[in-house]
Homo-oligomer: A and B are copies of this chain.
């Protein structure tokens, strides 16, 4: 091998990205150096700016440039509701709907024992502390309906209920415009089970 040192280091460093092995790392390095040097410069600068300026919001744990993020600092949000999501992208999806006016807590992950992610890694102690601020009346669990998201919701639910907090889970059922013919059986079973008075 006769790679110049800086090139070998760059290929190695690109492997920090999730899902990037040695071959894609080399491909990425060549692409950046050969075809997109301005893009590479922007990426380097953005990484260092993000590392320097982004911290976690003290209240909701989301990424923020301020100690307390805009949502948590807003006087217009309903402070009695606290919605728990896995990732910042989930929070964004909820915000886009404009259907929720309460506050959030971002786990930055989900319980995943096989990957070594336990209650400590996703900051559940901070969530409990946050939820017991004396203002929160209801904690709404909006983790994903995957096996890990469900387990996380269940775990948090038990944790909070023993501390006297009201806990709810967002509904599972047919999606808007969903047709019985095209929805999987698990979803239909759940929609039947969770039926409401009409």
Q: A33 on the interface (CB 8 Å rule)?
A: yes
Residues of B within 8 A of A39 (CB): 13, 16
Q: How many copies of this kind of chain does the complex include?
A: 2
Q: A162 on the interface (CB 8 Å rule)?
A: no
State how many angstroms separate the Cβ of A19 from the closest Cβ of chain B.
7
Could you tell me the distance between the alpha carbons of A60 and B12 in the complex, rounded to whole angstroms? Answer: 24
Contact with A47, one of B3, B10, B53, B108 (Cβ below 8 angstroms): B10
Mark out the residues of chain A between 12 and 32 whose CB falls within 8 Å of any chain B CB in the assembled complex: 12-14, 16-19, 24, 26-32
Q: Which residue of B lies closest to A27 (CB)?
A: B18
**Do A88 and B47 touch across chains, with their CB atoms under 8 A apart?**
no
A residues engaging B (CB < 8 A)? Answer: 1-7, 9-10, 12-14, 16-19, 24, 26-34, 36-37, 39-51, 53-54, 63-65, 69-71, 87-89, 91-92, 95-96, 108-109
Q: Which residue of B lies closest to A4 (CB)?
A: B65
Known: A33-B54, A87-B30. A2 touches B71 (CB 8 A): yes
Known: A16-B43, A43-B16. A4 touches B54 (CB 8 A): yes
